[in-house]
Amino acid sequence: MIIIRLEEYNDVDLDIRQLPVLLVRTGIGQGLSAPISFEPIAHKIKTVIQRTNSSEAVVQVTLETAVDFVMSLDKREVAAFGHQPDPTLSTRNLGDGGLYGPSILKEAQRMGWGDEEFRGPSSKWVDTERYPEWSGEGARMDGMIRRSEDQTRESIRGYKDVFTPWLQDNSRGRKHWNIF
């Protein structure tokens, strides 16, 4: 688990990769290919926050180190067990349209899907020659939501004198506004 602490966050001249974070071993190792150990990143640990009888449980590292560590654990587990859940097995019973019911099958056929079953990762279901870019209802909804977010952001910027944002002390003597 990666924890970002408010007192460590400062958005002035921030190199997000160097942000100090806590990396926590939860102690849950059931179902993993091997126990989790901070040994591979021992040389990058800035501080040990909590130690158990056998090893470190909570350490402080940079966000870059924490993300790289978690991604390496994910790669280790995929190498040991394959993708979980298996993308082919997880789509085995979509013949009835799954959660969407038969309407998704009709929509797929309208877009050119043949009689084949829906199987495997959904990313394989799209004919990229026929649909070379994001389109349809998903693209329309994404655009609508993006415009709404942009309008809300601009509205807040326009009324920032009306809002009374509160100052937060980040425990290093610097203060920052918590709303913008």
Q: Are residues 8 and 72 in the same domain?
A: yes
Residue identified by tokens 């019911």 is 101
Among 43, 58, 81, identify where a domain stops. Answer: 81
**Cα angle, residue 56 at apex, residues 54 and 58 outer, rounded to 5°:** 145
Q: Are residues 28 and 96 in the same domain?
A: no
Q: Three-state secondary structure along 87-155? A: CCHHHCCHHHCHHHCHHHHHHHHHCCCCCCCCCCCHHHCCCCCCCCCCCHHHHHHHHHHHHHHHHHHHH
Give the containing element (helix H, strand E) for 72. helix 63-81
Q: Are residues 76 and 93 in the same domain?
A: no
Q: Are residues 8 and 75 in the same domain?
A: yes
Q: Is 71 helix (H, G, I), strand (E, B) or coil?
A: helix
Q: Are residues 77 and 95 in the same domain?
A: no
- Spatial separation of the C-alpha atoms in residues 135 and 52, rounded to whole Å: 52
pLDDT in tens, 13-46: 678 899 999 999 988 888 899 999 999 999 999 9
Answer whether residue 32 is part of any domain: yes
pLDDT at 14: 75
- Spatial separation of the C-alpha atoms in residues 9 and 170, rounded to whole Å: 7
pLDDT at 118: 66
Among 81, 103, 122, identify where a domain stops. Answer: 81
For 44, the domain range is 2-81
Answer whether residue 163 is part of any domain: no
Answer whether residue 168 is part of any domain: no
Answer whether residue 139 is part of any domain: yes
Q: Are residues 16 and 67 in the same domain?
A: yes
Q: Are residues 75 and 10 in the same domain?
A: yes
Among 81, 98, 119, identify where a domain stops. Answer: 81
Q: Are residues 69 and 21 in the same domain?
A: yes
* Domain count for the chain: 2
Q: How far is CA 11 from the centre of its chain?
A: 21
Answer whether residue 173 is part of any domain: no
Answer whether residue 165 is part of any domain: no
Q: Are residues 94 and 39 in the same domain?
A: no
The rounded radius of gyration (Å) of the Cα atoms in the chain is: 24
Q: Are residues 10 and 73 in the same domain?
A: yes
Q: Are residues 11 and 77 in the same domain?
A: yes
Could you read off the pLDDT tens digit of each residue along the chain, which spans 180 residues?
999 887 777 766 678 899 999 999 988 888 899 999 999 999 999 988 887 776 778 999 999 999 999 999 999 999 998 887 776 666 666 655 555 666 777 777 777 777 776 666 666 777 788 888 888 888 899 999 999 999 988 887 777 666 555 555 555 555 554 544
CA distances from 4 to 1, 7, 121, 171, 172 (A): 10, 9, 33, 14, 16
Contact (CB, 8 A) for 173 and 165: no
